[in-house]
């Protein structure tokens, strides 16, 4: 099983990224961070630490006030996928049409898109649900559709904004496992925003802990546990030790003095 390479080429470097909104809130200050190809990188932190802001800046949905996004690989416009906290599906369209949407907006016909859509639906275990409407699906299944939609353009980089936060624990564990499997097979890069220590440790090879007021990068942690990670890993002492380590850093970030704030 290939492991993420700590010496892999950088995909994107955030250099001193800051964002101040027009109401005066500094959501993110001087964030510097390297995303390497093949990373499963989690942004972990309390609310208000700017993790979602950072993700939206990477996606191009927000323009940074300061700093630069240094793309080290030229990514085509197809190469960034986004998965929101809510499934965010079109309620009037069935599962197939929802997954087809990103391709459809690029002018790909239904017939041309069909193989890619069907393959992804199979990968997220939704074969046979092509014609189901979103309201007929459970929360977990809706999130699977959302993930399939995020991956249908075969992006090099998948951005996920607390995608499993609203799901029950059993469903979340299952989706964690399936997401890891997909990631290992397809070798895309993931930036995953979460406020769950346990989720970030289980999924990622790198955790960037962020602090709030103002939002900033606090400390980076490597998660030295081999993939594949499965249910056995979830109950292993290694996992517990890593969680404790990450928790300590997170507590440090939460208690970090906000004194750094300059006028």
Contacts with other proteins, residue ranges (CB under 8 A): 59-61, 77, 80, 82, 84, 86, 88, 90-94, 101-102, 104-106, 131-133, 135-136, 153
Q: Which is nearer to other proteins, 79 or 205 (CB)?
A: 79
Q: In what order do the strands lie in the sheet with 66-71?
A: 26-36, 10-20, 66-71
Least distance from other proteins to the Cβ atom of residue 114, Å: 16
Q: Which is nearer to other proteins, 82 or 198 (CB)?
A: 82
Q: Which is nearer to other proteins, 70 or 136 (CB)?
A: 136
Least distance from other proteins to the Cβ atom of residue 136, Å: 7
Q: How far is CA 24 from CA 9, 61, 184, 261, in A?
A: 36, 19, 41, 13
Distance of CA 31 to the CA centre of its chain: 17
* 180, 182, 187, 193 alpha-carbon torsion, rounded to 10°: -50
- Residue recorded with tokens 């965010």: 88
Are the C-beta atoms of 18 and 64 separated by less than 8 Å?
Answer: yes
Least distance from other proteins to the Cβ atom of residue 61, Å: 5
Residues in Cβ contact with 100 at an 8 Å cutoff, skipping those fewer than 6 apart: 108, 110, 113, 117, 152
Q: Which is nearer to other proteins, 84 or 227 (CB)?
A: 84
Q: Which is nearer to other proteins, 67 or 102 (CB)?
A: 102
Least distance from other proteins to the Cβ atom of residue 82, Å: 5
Least distance from other proteins to the Cβ atom of residue 103, Å: 9
């Amino acid at each position: 099983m290939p492991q993420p390479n700590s010496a892999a080429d950088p995909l994107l470097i955030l250099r001193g990224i800051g964002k101040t909104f027009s109401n005066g809130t500094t959501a993110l200050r001087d964030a510097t961070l390297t995303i390497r190809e093949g990373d499963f990188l989690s942004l972990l932190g309390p609310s208000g630490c700017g993790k979602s802001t950072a993700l939206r800046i990477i996606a191009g949905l927000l323009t940074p006030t300061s700093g630069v996004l240094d793309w080290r690989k030229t990514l085509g416009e197809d190469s960034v996928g986004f998965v929101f906290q809510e499934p965010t599906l079109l309620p009037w369209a069935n599962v197939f049409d929802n997954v087809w949407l990103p391709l459809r907006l690029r002018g790909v016909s239904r017939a041309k898109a069909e193989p890619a859509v069907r393959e992804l639906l199979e990968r997220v275990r939704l074969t046979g649900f092509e014609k189901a409407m979103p309201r007929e699906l459970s929360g977990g299944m809706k999130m699977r559709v959302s993930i399939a939609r995020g991956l249908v353009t075969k992006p090099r980089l998948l951005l996920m904004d607390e995608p499993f936060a609203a799901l029950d624990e059993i469903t979340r564990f299952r989706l964690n496992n399936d997401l890891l499997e997909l990631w290992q097979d397809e070798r895309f890069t993931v930036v995953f925003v979460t406020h769950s220590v346990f989720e970030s440790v289980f999924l990622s090879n790198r955790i960037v802990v962020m602090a709030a007021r103002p939002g900033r990068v606090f400390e980076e942690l490597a998660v030295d546990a081999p993939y594949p990670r499965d249910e056995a890993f979830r109950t292993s002492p290694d996992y517990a030790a890593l969680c404790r380590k990450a928790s300590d850093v997170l507590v440090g970030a939460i208690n970090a003095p906000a004194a750094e704030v300059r006028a």
